[in-house]
A and B are shown apart, each in its own frame.
Chain A
């Protein structure tokens, strides 16, 4: 039995229920099915960002997260993968989604597998993920999946009972879920060694500093700072 996949699903829809949440659930189900088929059960945590809207704003203003928002940040940090779903507003990700990303530490996303998805009223916004979200997560050095999933309102009606996988939205969801599970399978056991090699941690004779949270991961000992 392999370790479960810890999946955090961020959904930035503003209404309840929202089509953004529907897409998030559809993606989560697909990842769960694919994961189980690959022998990896999925532990999914769904985060409705609207419930943290005030905390996000406060964090932007005070520069530190509330206890409530800290729990979300820590769950993203601990996650093996993140599904991020936002509505498209005014040709970009929703302000709530962007604000959440702005409010948290950049290092949170480094090397994190991220499945991007978005919803909009019409298919004319279908490139929003590629010009609005993918560059941002590229900057954040996340491991963004090749397939992103966009759903216009009409896509939710195109599914024919029993033939979901043949429909455009269903097939995109399946392809993205497949890519995510495949990426996690390929990374298992190899990523930690590669990261250690890249940062030189395996050669570092410095003693570990105890009791330090992950937010201090950029600690560098003084002899290296002074380049001695």
Chain B
């Protein structure tokens, strides 16, 4: 099971002091968060993507590449990668680069994005968000599996004889999760490809999350990728912890009350009852998150949002430490113990390589393209068919 943290890289004034970090301070904090996450034994660090203030994460692979150089084991992921407004060709290139440089420590969570103007800024139409997500991902999926792609679609210029470089490390594309809060089409998309489905349920009641996950599981089985129980599920989560639960409640309340998204809305008590947000002792967080598998079945990844709403850097680091040292070891032990043997653990590059080798034999990493003045040709066009099955 994977446990990790994700950040949306928001710059929010600390409501208790009015302090606002600079963009560079916020970026450096994100890097420190990722390093600490690895040190305290977390498996995944995921970074959001936004193209407007108050966020500082327009170019996630830049930050993730930098973090990749400063870490050695943690998986770098996204929360989410905008499959609608990014060119799928550029996603294929950027994340394959990151995959090579980090030795396969990369996966992605695809999302459509919920900021309306981003679509027109990048020349797209928000009313076609789902259609764009479907078409773009279909292209991305092919670019990582076929050496040479001829392609024509509605939302980007056509491709003839295009090769996305570098080719995925060891012939295995980064694992992809599809994130959606309420669109059944996206759960369907994840199921169709046998990809993962990540429900960021931090702002939603569990009754809703449960239905989305169930839809994904049923359709995963329908498309022949395994049983419903074997589908790859991830959840979002949110917590604020102190040794003494009353301290946690007292300290977090001003951040909750003015937080973007839910600030000024329900009381913290109502919100913590209705959503997975847990404010209390590490033991209470453990108790709450042990229940999640009862709702959605045995799952593979649990992510936590710990650094938003203007929480100061010191507090954020304390939260990551508490999560890694007091919460995750217990959750990991209990959740791994309850998972049946035929339900897969969280996918990693190593597990994907092992699976590919079992199916197709070992991969030959030798460079298979022309190296002279030809810009894209294969050394032998005929050799291509052998690579397409991946």
Residues of A within 8 A of B (CB): 57-58, 60-64, 66-67, 207, 209-213, 215-216, 218-222, 225-226
Residues of chain B from 46 to 88 with CB closer than 8 A to chain A in the complex: none
Q: List 12 A-B contacts (CB under 8 A).
A: A62-B203, A62-B266, A64-B204, A64-B274, A66-B270, A210-B218, A213-B211, A220-B184, A222-B188, A222-B223, A225-B134, A225-B189
Q: Indicate which residue in A57, A64, A220, A221 contacts B208 across the interface (CB closer than 8 Å).
A: A64
The reply to whether A219 and B265 contact each other, CB–CB distance below 8 Å, is: no
Instruction: Count A-B pairs with CB separation below 8 Å.
Output: 72
A61-B262, A64-B208, A222-B192 known; A209 vs B215 contact (CB < 8 Å): yes
Q: Please determine whether A67 and B215 come into contact, CB atoms closer than 8 angstroms.
A: no
The CA of A102 and the CA of B143, in the complex, are separated in Å by 41
Task: List chain A residues, Cβ under 8 A from B261.
Answer: 61-62
With the chains together, A219 CA to B222 CA distance in Å? 15
Q: How far is the CA of A210 from the CA of B228 in the complex (A)?
A: 13
In the complex with contacts A57-B265, A62-B203, A219-B185 CB distance below 8 A: yes
Closest CB in chain A relative to B253 CB, distance in Å: 17
CA distance A64 to B270 in the complex (A): 13
Number of interface residues of B (CB under 8 A): 32
Q: Is the CB of B188 within 8 A of A220?
A: yes
* Cα distance A209–B148 in the bound complex, in angstroms: 37
Contact with A along B217-241 (1 / 0, CB 8 A): 0110011000000000000000000
A-B pairs, top 6 by smallest CB distance, nearest first, are A61-B265, A222-B192, A219-B184, A58-B265, A58-B266, A216-B184
**Does B155 reach chain A (CB closer than 8 Å)?**
no
Task: Kindly state the separation between the CA atoms of A218 and B266 in the bound complex, as whole angstroms.
Answer: 28
Cβ of B103 within 8 Å of any chain A Cβ, yes or no, is no
Complex Cα–Cα for A215 and B212 (A): 11
Residue of A nearest to B222 (CB): A207
Within 8 A of A (CB), among B184-222: 184-185, 188-189, 191-192, 203-205, 208, 211-212, 214-215, 218-219, 222
CA distance A219 to B187 in the complex (A): 9
B152 at the interface (CB under 8 A from A): no
Closest chain-B Cβ to A24's Cβ sits at a distance in Å of 28
With known contacts A62-B261, A62-B262, A218–B184 Cβ distance under 8 A: yes
B162 at the binding interface (Cβ < 8 Å): no
Q: Chain A at the B interface: mostly helix, strand, loop or mixed?
A: loop
Known: A62-B271, A64-B205. A219 touches B215 (CB 8 A): yes
B134 nearest CB neighbor, chain A only: A225
User: A residues within 8 A CB of B184?
Assistant: 212, 216, 218-220
Tell me if B264 counts as interface (CB < 8 A to partner A): yes
**Which A-chain residue is minimally distant from B193 (CB atoms)?**
A222
Task: Report Cα–Cα, A15/B184, bound state, in Å.
Answer: 41
Residues of B within 8 A of A222 (CB): 188-189, 191-192, 219, 223
Closest Cβ of chain A: how far from B248's Cβ, in Å?
A: 21
B370: CB under 8 A from chain A? Answer: no
Write out the residue numbers on chain A whose beta carbons fall within 8 Å of the beta carbon of B211: 211-213, 216
The proximity string for B residues 264-277 relative to A, scoring 1 for CB distances below 8 Å and 0 otherwise, is 11100011001000
B247 touches A (CB below 8 Å): no
Interface flag for B318 (CB, 8 Å): no
- Which residues of the other chain, A, contact B262 by a CB distance below 8 angstroms? 61-62
